[in-house]
Amino acid sequence: MEPSLARYIWTHTKKQQLWILMIVVLSMIPYFMSFDLPKLIVNGPIQGGGFEQPGATQPFMRLHYNLPFIGEVQFFSGFQLDRKETLFALSVVFLLLVIINGLFKLYINTYKGRLGERMLRRIRFDLVDRVLRFPPVYFKRVKSAEVATMVKDEVEPLGGFIGDAFVQPVLLGGQALTAMLFIMVQNVWLGMIAAVIVGIQIVLIPRMRRRLIVLGRERQLTARALSGRVGEIVDGIGAVHVHDTSNYERADIAARLGLIFKIRFDLYQWKFMVKFLNNFLAQVTPFLFYMIGGYLVIQGRLDVGQLVAVIGAYKDLPGPMKELIDWDQARQDVQVKYQQVVEQFTAEGLIAPTIGALAIDDPAPMTNPLSAINLSMADDGGAMLLDRISLQVRPGETVALVSTTTGGAEALAEAFARLNRPDSGRVASGADDLLELPEAVTGRRMSYASSDVFLFQASLRDNLLYGLKHAPLTSVTYEGAAADQRRWNIDEARRSGNPELDIHSDWINYASAGATGPHDLFEAVRRVLDAVVLSRDILDLGLRSSADLTRHTELARRIVELRAALRTRLEHEGLSGLVAPFEPGAYNKEATIGQNLLFGAAAGPELADRALAANPYFASVLKQAGLDRTFYEMGMEIAEQAIELFADLPPDHQFFQQLAFMSAEEIPAYESLLQRLKNRPYEAVSENDRAMIITLSFNYIEPRHRFGLLSDELMSKIVAARNQFYENLPPELQNAVERYDPAKYIAAATVMDNVLFGRVGTNHPDAPDRIRSIVYDILDELGLYDELLDVGLDFNVGSGGRRLTGGQRQKLDVARALIKRPDFLILNRPLSALDQRMQDKVLRNVLEEARRDGHSPAIVWVVTNPAMAMMFDRVVVFDSGRLVEDGTHETLLAGNGIFKELLS
Amino acid sequence: MLLKDEVGMLQRVPLFAAIEPTKLKLLAFTSDRVSYSAGQILFRQGDEGDAAYVILSGRADILVDSDSGPIKVAELESNSIVGEIAILCNSSRTATVRAASPLEVLRIRKDHFLRLMREFPEMTIEILRVLADRLSHTTADLIDARSAK
C-alpha cells in the first residue's frame, strides 16, 4: 500500500480536490466583500459620511472600473439613494452576503464529508481486501480483534481528515490571509501587531504539539493491544474458567487500562495546556488593539470606523488560525495512524489478485493427478514436519494417510489444501504448481475438511452451502425505488474503488451440488446430512425451534392433519395418557394455571411470563371473574409452602431447579413480602404486591407440585375467564398473543408444541423420548420430514459455531466439503471429536456418498485410527516426516512394517 | 395424592420414619411422581442406578435374571423403598423391578438423595441406623442358615 497518506489521497481524489479548491477560492470573493461592508455602513449612512447635505444622495451599485489603456469605464451608473435608503440597501446586501457565505460553506462541507467517507470506504475495503490476500503464515501472528480494530476504529479519523486534506489549509489559510490583509489595509501598525502574534502561534504551538503526537501513537498501540486482549479473553473464556485465571486476566486488563489512562491523561494535560496558550495569544491581540488602536483614535490618527472594522476582522482571524493549527496536528496525527496501519498490513508473499479473481463459469474438472514433489514443510519453530516427500494421488483413487504421532500426514493434507506453503519442493496438479492455480479451480474442484472447523455465525443452512458461494450467478432485476437504490450502490461502489458484486444475487452454485436450482438442492442437502449422520440432530433442533412461516408454509397448512395423526397414533399404541391436549373448552391439568388462563402463546413482551399478572387488562378480567382474590390466596399459600421448603437452603442449591415459582434470589424478597401481607385484608394490598403474589399461582401445575390447590370449580372458572379474556381483547393486545386453536398453527410456539398441541404429562417416565420418536414417524409418513429438516437448518450456529457440539461442527464441515462434489476430497482427521464407532459409520457413508451417481473423486483421508485404512484403495504410512510405506491394505498387512505395528 | 399425603407415606417407610416432616416434604417436592401401568419396567438389572423409588400405591415384582429367564424373588408393596442400594453404593442395579399392578411411585433422584444426606446429618444417621439394622438381620439370617445346614 502507498506509504504516504498525502499521496494516497491525491492519487484517488485529485479531481475532486481541485474542484473543491476552486469552489473555495470562489467563496473567498463574497467572504472578503462581507468584511468591507460594516465599514461602509458605519462610515456612510450611520455617521453620515457623504450625506453631509440634507437630501444628499449617493449612487448604489455603480459599476465602474479603471481598465488599462482604455481608462475609466462605467458599466452601470447605479441608483441614487438617500441616507436612510442607503442604510437599508447596504444592510440588505450584508444579509445577502451572509446567506451566500453560508451556502458556500454548506456546499463545501457536504462535498468534503462525502469525499472523506468515500475515501474511508476505499481504505477499509483495501485493508480487508489485503486480509483476504495475506499468506497463511500471517494469521499465526496477528490477533483477529487487532485487525478488526484497525479496519474499524484506527482508520476512522482518516475519513474526517481526507476531505480537509487539501481544502482546509487553502480555505483557512485564505480566510486568515484575507483577514490579515484587511487589517493591514486598514492600519499597517495594527496589522503588524496581529502578524507578530500569529507568527508566535505558528511557530510555538506545533512544537508543543509534537509531544501530543507521540502520546497519540502510544494511545493507538495500547488501545489496539487492549482490544486484542479482550478478543482473546472472549475466545478463550473456557480456558480462563477451567484454570481459575479470571483474576489474572482482571489484573492484566487493569494494568493495561492503567497505562491507557496515564497516556490519555498526559494527553489531556498537554492538550489543555496548549489550548490555554493558544487562547491566551489570541486574546492578547484585541487587548493591544483596544489599547494602541484606541490611543490612535484619541490622537485622531485613526477613525473609529477603521478601528471597529479592524476589531471586526480580527474576530475572524483566531478562528481560522486555530483551525489551521488543528489541521496541521490532525495531519501529523493521521499520517502517523495511517503509517501504523499500513505497516501492519504490509506482508511478504501476498497472494496475487489473479488467484482470487472472480470467475463466473465453472472450471473444467481436475483430471491430472495431485502430487507432492520433494515436498518439505516445517512448522514455525523450524522443526521438520515433512522431509522431501514425493507422492502422487491419481484421480478417482481413495488414499488413507496413516501417521504416527510425528508422522506429518496432516502437514501433507494442509499443503494439498494450500493452507501452508512448502519450505521446499512443491505441490502440483499435473504439471501446474498447485499454488499458482486460481482459487476458482482449487476452491471448486477440491474440498477440504479438518478437525479444526470454522463456522460463521449464521444458520446451519448458510454454513452448509457456504462452500458453494463462489460467484454471483444470477442478475437480480430491481424495480422502482429498489432499482434506484441499486444504481446508487453501484455508482458509489465505483467511486470508492469497491467491487460492484451484488450480495443479493443467488451465489449458490447448484450445479456443483448436482442440483439444477433451489427446488432440487434440498435433495443434495439431505443426502450429505444423512451421510455424516447429522440429520437427526438437525431434526431435534427443528422440533425445538419455531418455524419461519414465510418459508415453511407446508407445516402450517397441514398442522390439523399432523395433530390428528399424532392423536390417532397415541390412541393406537395405548399412550393417550402421555399427552394432555389443549381443548378450547377444558382445563389442561398438565399445563400451568397461567397457560390455562392465557390459552395461547405470548407473541410479544406484554403478556409474556411475569408481565402477565401485571397487565392491567388481564387483571381486570380476573377481577370480573372473581378470580383475583382466589389467585392471591393461592399465591400466598404457594409462597408460604415454597419458603417453608426452601428458605434454609443455600441459593446455589440444585433443588432450586425444581422450584418453578421463584428463583433463589427472590426468596428473601418474598419472605419479607409474606411477613408484610400476612394479616392484611386483600383490599389493603397494593396493586404491585398483588401482582407479585398472583404471578406465583400462574406457574402452578397440580400433578407436578401437588399442593392440592386446584378444585373442579376453580378449573371451570379459569376456562370461563379465558373466554372472557379473548372476548374483549383490546386492539393493542391483539398481536401480543396467539390463541391456541386446534385448527391453526401457532407461529410463536415451537414445532414440537405445535404438533403436540398439549402438554406431556409429568408423571410418565421417558414420555418425551417416546413422543419425539412418534412425532418423527408421523412427519415421515406425512412427507413432512424434509420440511422439519429445513426448519432445523434455520438454526443459528452462534459465534464460531459454538451453539453446536464439537462433533456436530465437524460433521457439518465434512458435509460442507462433500456437497461440493469435488474431484479431490481432502479430509484431515475430520471427525476426531467422534467416537470410533461413529467415525467408522461416517467414513463408510462418506465414501459411498462421494461416489454416488458414477462420480469418482479422489479421496485423501488422514485417518485417526489405522484400522480405518481398510476401506481405502491405497494406504500411505508416514513416520517422522517421511513416507515409509505405500501400498494396498493387503500388501501392507502382509509386510512387517510400521503399519502392521500401528494396527496391533 | 397430595404432597402432604406423600409425606405421610414417606413417614411410614422405615428409612425415613425418624426424619423431620419438613425435610420429608422437601424430599417429596423435589422428587418426581411417576405412574406405571402393570408390566412396565421401573429399571433393569445391570442399568446404572440413578434413582430410588418409594411405592405409594400398587405392587411391583423384583426379578433376577437367570439362565432360564427372569425369576421373581420378592414383591414390593406400598410404603416400601427400592433401588436405594444402587445409589448409595454407586453400583449397577442388582435386579429388575416391574410393576405388577398400576403403580404410583415417588422417584427420588440420586443427586437429590445424596445432597439431602449431606445436608441433614440426622437423616444420614437415621439411614445408617436402618442399614446397620438390616445388616445385623442379614448376619443373623446367615448364621441361622449356616447352623441349619
pLDDT at A163: 79
Cβ-in-10-Å burial (0-12, 13-18, 19+) of A877 comes to buried
pLDDT at A886 over 80: yes
**Cα A524 from Cα A77, distance rounded (Å):** 88
Q: How far off is chain A from B22, nearest CA to CA, in Å?
A: 7
Q: How far off is chain A from B59, nearest CA to CA, in Å?
A: 17
* Cell numbers placing B80: 416400601
Compare CB distances from A658 to B2, B3, B29 and report the shortest one's residue: B29
Mapped onto helix, strand or coil, the DSSP state of residue B57 is: strand
Closest CA to A549 of A778, A794, A753: A794
Contact (CB, 8 A) for B24 and B8: no
Q: How far off is chain B from A675, nearest CA to CA, in Å?
A: 20
Higher-confidence position of A359 and A648 = A359
Cell numbers 434454609 label which residue? A648
Interface of A with B in 107-166 (CB under 8 A): none
Q: Is A705 on the interface with B (CB under 8 A)?
A: yes
Compare CB distances from B33 to A649, A654, A706 and report the shortest one's residue: A706
What is the average per-residue pLDDT within A720-736?
88
Q: How far off is chain B from A572, nearest CA to CA, in Å?
A: 16
Cβ-in-10-Å burial (0-12, 13-18, 19+) of A148 comes to middle
Question: A65 falls in which pLDDT band (50, 70, 90)?
Answer: low
Cell numbers 479519523 label which residue? A157
Cell numbers 382474590 label which residue? A629
**Cα A403 from Cα A415, distance rounded (Å):** 16
Whether A655 sits inside 8 A of B22 (CB atoms) is no
Percent of chain B with pLDDT over 90: 4
Secondary structure element (H or E) that encloses residue A80, with its range: strand A79-81
**Cα A250 from Cα A244, distance rounded (Å):** 11
Number of neighbours of residue A640 by Cβ within 10 angstroms: 14
Q: Is B61 on the interface with A (CB under 8 A)?
A: no
pLDDT at B30 over 90: no
| A644 half-sphere exposure, CB direction, 13 A CA radius | 16
Cα A241 to Cα A226, A236, A805, distances in angstroms: 20, 9, 19
**Cα A228 from Cα A844, distance rounded (Å):** 43
Cα A816 to Cα A262, A420, A440, A446, A448, distances in angstroms: 50, 21, 17, 12, 9
Percent of chain A with pLDDT over 70: 99
* Cell numbers placing A79: 441608483
Question: For chain B, which domains are there?
Answer: 3-148 (2.60.120.10)
| A223 half-sphere exposure, CB direction, 13 A CA radius | 16
CA dihedral sign of residues A508, A514, A520, A526: negative
Instruction: Please give the distance of CA A652 from its chain centroid, rounded to a whole number.
Output: 36
Compare CB distances from B35 to A641, A645, A763 and report the shortest one's residue: A763
Mutual angle of helices A616-624 and A712-727, in 10-degree steps = 130
Angle subtended at Cα A38 by Cα A41 and Cα A55, rounded to the nearest 5 degrees: 5
**Cα A319 from Cα A304, distance rounded (Å):** 24
Cα A623 to Cα A683, A709, A717, A718, B117, distances in angstroms: 12, 19, 12, 12, 46
pLDDT at B98 over 80: yes
Cell numbers 489603456 label which residue? A69
Q: Which residues contact A233 (CB under 8 A, 6 or more apart)?
A: A240, A249, A253
| Chain B residue with Cα closest to A646 | B26
Question: A398 falls in which pLDDT band (50, 70, 90)?
Answer: very high
Q: Encode burial over A350-365: b for 16+ CB neighbours within 10 A, e otherwise.
A: ebeeebeeeeeeeeee
Q: Which residues pair with A875 in a beta bridge?
A: A400, A887
pLDDT at A640 over 70: yes
Residue from B30, B37, B120 to probe the interface with A (highest A Cβ count within 10 Å):
B30
pLDDT at A816 over 80: yes
Compare CB distances from B35 to A645, A704, A764 and report the shortest one's residue: A764
pLDDT at A582 over 80: yes
| Chain B residue with Cα closest to A655 | B30
Taking CB atoms and an 8 Å cutoff, what residues of chain A touch B6?
A: 706
**Cα B18 from Cα B114, distance rounded (Å):** 17
Instruction: Please give the distance of CA A642 from its chain centroid, rounded to a whole number.
Output: 44
What is the average per-residue pLDDT within A747-758?
89
pLDDT at B149: 66
pLDDT at A230: 92
pLDDT at A399: 94
Mapped onto helix, strand or coil, the DSSP state of residue A478 is: coil
Q: Is B138 on the interface with A (CB under 8 A)?
A: no
Q: Encode burial over A149-176: b for 16+ CB neighbours within 10 A, e otherwise.
A: bbbeebbebbbebbbbbbbbeebbebbb
Q: How far off is chain A from B36, nearest CA to CA, in Å?
A: 7
Q: Which residues contact A276 (CB under 8 A, 6 or more apart)?
A: none
Compare CB distances from A706 to B2, B111, B112 and report the shortest one's residue: B2
Q: How far off is chain B from A696, nearest CA to CA, in Å?
A: 16
Closest CA to A874 of A884, A865, A861, A864: A861
Mapped onto helix, strand or coil, the DSSP state of residue A562 is: helix
**Cα A394 from Cα A874, distance rounded (Å):** 11
What is the average per-residue pLDDT within A552-563?
87
Computed over every residue of chain A, the mean pLDDT equals 87
Compare CB distances from B111 to A654, A762, A763 and report the shortest one's residue: A654
DSSP string, A565-590: HHHHHHHHTT-GGGEEE--TTS--TT
pLDDT at A122: 92
Taking CB atoms and an 8 Å cutoff, what residues of chain B touch A645?
A: 22, 25-26, 29
Interface of A with B in 585-644 (CB under 8 A): 641, 644
Taking CB atoms and an 8 Å cutoff, what residues of chain A touch B26?
A: 645-646, 655
Looking at residue A138, its amino acid is: Y
Question: A64 falls in which pLDDT band (50, 70, 90)?
Answer: low
Q: How far off is chain A from B80, nearest CA to CA, in Å?
A: 19
DSSP string, A741-774: -TTS--TTS-HHHHHH-EEE-TTSTTHHHHHHHH
| Residue ranges with strand state E in A229-339 | none
**Cα A452 from Cα A442, distance rounded (Å):** 20
- Lowest mean per-residue pLDDT among A34-38, A248-252, A822-826, A842-846: A34-38
Question: For chain A, which domains are there?
Answer: 5-344 (1.20.1560.10), 396-421+437-470+798-903 (3.40.50.300), 472-506 (no CATH), 546-582+741-785 (no CATH), 592-739 (no CATH)
Per-residue 3-state assignment (H helix, E strand, C coil) for A375-420: EEEECCCCCEEEEEEEEEECCCCEEEEEECCCCCHHHHHHHHCCCC
Whether A655 sits inside 8 A of B26 (CB atoms) is yes
pLDDT at A477: 87
Mapped onto helix, strand or coil, the DSSP state of residue B71 is: strand
What is the average per-residue pLDDT within A557-569?
89
Q: Is B118 on the interface with A (CB under 8 A)?
A: no
Taking CB atoms and an 8 Å cutoff, what residues of chain B touch A649?
A: 119
Q: Which residues contact A632 (CB under 8 A, 6 or more apart)?
A: A682, A685, A690, A693, A694, A697
ipTM exceeding cut-off 0.90 for this assembly: no
| Chain A residue with Cα closest to B119 | A649
Taking CB atoms and an 8 Å cutoff, what residues of chain B touch A653?
A: 115
Q: Is A707 on the interface with B (CB under 8 A)?
A: yes
Q: How far off is chain B from A429, nearest CA to CA, in Å?
A: 55
* Cell numbers placing A258: 492503567
User: A88-134: per-residue pLDDT in tens?
Assistant: 888 888 899 889 999 998 998 899 889 989 999 999 999 999 999 99
Contact (CB, 8 A) for A850 and A842: no
Whether B22 sits inside 8 A of A703 (CB atoms) is no
Whether A707 sits inside 8 A of B2 (CB atoms) is yes
Q: Which residues contact A491 (CB under 8 A, 6 or more apart)?
A: none
**Cα A667 from Cα A652, distance rounded (Å):** 12
Whether B34 sits inside 8 A of A658 (CB atoms) is no
Q: Is A765 on the interface with B (CB under 8 A)?
A: yes
- Lowest mean per-residue pLDDT among A210-224, A310-324, A339-353, B35-49: A310-324
| Residue ranges with strand state E in A737-867 | 737-739, 758-760, 824-828, 858-862
**Cα A455 from Cα A811, distance rounded (Å):** 12
Angle subtended at Cα A300 by Cα A295 and Cα A304, rounded to the nearest 5 degrees: 75
pLDDT at A397: 93
Size of interface A-B (CB pairs under 8 A): 46
Residue from A643, A658, A770 to probe the interface with B (highest B Cβ count within 10 Å):
A658
Q: Which residues contact B121 (CB under 8 A, 6 or more apart)?
A: none
Q: How far off is chain A from B50, nearest CA to CA, in Å?
A: 13
Contact (CB, 8 A) for B41 and B96: yes
